[in-house]
A and B are shown apart, each in its own frame.
Chain A
Amino acid sequence: MKKFWRCFICSDIHYGVKPPEVCPTCLAKNAYVEVSSREAVKIMGAGGTTLTREEFRRAILAFAEKNEFEVNPDKAKVEMLLDGLFANEQNHGLKYCPCRLASGDLAEDLKLVCPCHFLIHETYKNKKDGECWCGLFVRRKK
């Protein structure tokens, strides 16, 4: 079961089955202590950060850059999907895939948050022209 962990040096928050051995932020070793989800949310919300559309666009471009896929070159499609992702974040709290419907079970619905783990989906896996379910990410042409 996943838990929240806090680096006692820099308050980096990790959510996972076990904590990292080395804090990726301050590089301290064996620095993580389990905290409650309430504490974790408070710490993570302390910065009050928001992600603008352009920042999210840069984030997914950077994410795709080191992988075998790319952001769809179809700009109109990407803009439509960004409209949906930001509307879903505004109305439902997270950037849910605009092409699937949340069930109401958060643990299950985390699978719908963009980027989702589309590498295992039938629309992508073993497909030459594979893409994620909504088409935001497509397999990069070689």
Chain B
Amino acid sequence: MSKLIMFYARECPHCKAMMPHVEKLENEENISFEKLEVWHNEKNADLMRSYRRAIAPKCGGQLRTPTFFNPETSDVLCGEVPYEKLKEWALKQK
């Protein structure tokens, strides 16, 4: 299983809305996300910026939160999405 990252921001409502989906997915599908906060942690912010070339084209040309990212394949899922869409994306990474 590839390492999956969830880039999120503490005060981002879309990220807050996605957290229960992420936790449900982790509990039900033996998937785990490394959750990295990017506005209050400069190291995490720099890491997200380092993936800009992979992330931005799939996120409207910007670095948006939440962003789900597979560093091995550079596969990206961007924004607040329904649980099923997140699940489909995450299972594809297995």
Interface residues, chain A, with chain B CB atoms under 8 Å away = 77, 80-81, 83-85, 87-88, 91-92, 96, 98-104, 112, 121-122, 133-135
A88 contact set on B, CB distance < 8 A: 39
Q: Can you name the residue of chain B whose Cβ is closest to the Cβ of A82?
A: B11
- Further pairs besides A101-B38, A103-B49: 10, Cβ < 8 Å: A80-B11, A80-B16, A81-B11, A83-B11, A84-B10, A88-B39, A91-B40, A98-B12, A99-B14, A99-B15
The one of B10, B13, B60, B65 that contacts A101, using a Cβ cutoff of 8 Å? B65
B15 contact set on A, CB distance < 8 A: 99
B77 beta carbon closer than 8 Å to chain A: no
- 10 A-B residue pairings within 8 Å (CB atoms): A80-B13, A84-B10, A84-B12, A84-B39, A87-B40, A88-B39, A91-B39, A91-B40, A98-B12, A99-B13
Given contacts A87-B40, A100-B63, contact A81 B49 (CB under 8 A): no
> Do the beta carbons of B11 and A100 come within 8 Å of each other?
no
B74 beta carbon closer than 8 Å to chain A: no
> Do the beta carbons of B64 and A133 come within 8 Å of each other?
yes
B45 beta carbon closer than 8 Å to chain A: yes
Given contacts A101-B45, A104-B49, contact A135 B14 (CB under 8 A): yes
Report which residue of A83, A88, A100 has the largest number of chain B beta carbons within 10 angstroms of its beta carbon: A100
The one of A81, A83, A92, A101 that contacts B48, using a Cβ cutoff of 8 Å? A101
Q: Can you name the residue of chain B whose Cβ is closest to the Cβ of A77?
A: B13
> Do the beta carbons of B64 and A99 come within 8 Å of each other?
yes
Bound: A111/B64 CA distance, A: 13
> Do the beta carbons of B13 and A100 come within 8 Å of each other?
no
B62 beta carbon closer than 8 Å to chain A: yes
B9 beta carbon closer than 8 Å to chain A: yes
> Do the beta carbons of A84 and B14 come within 8 Å of each other?
no
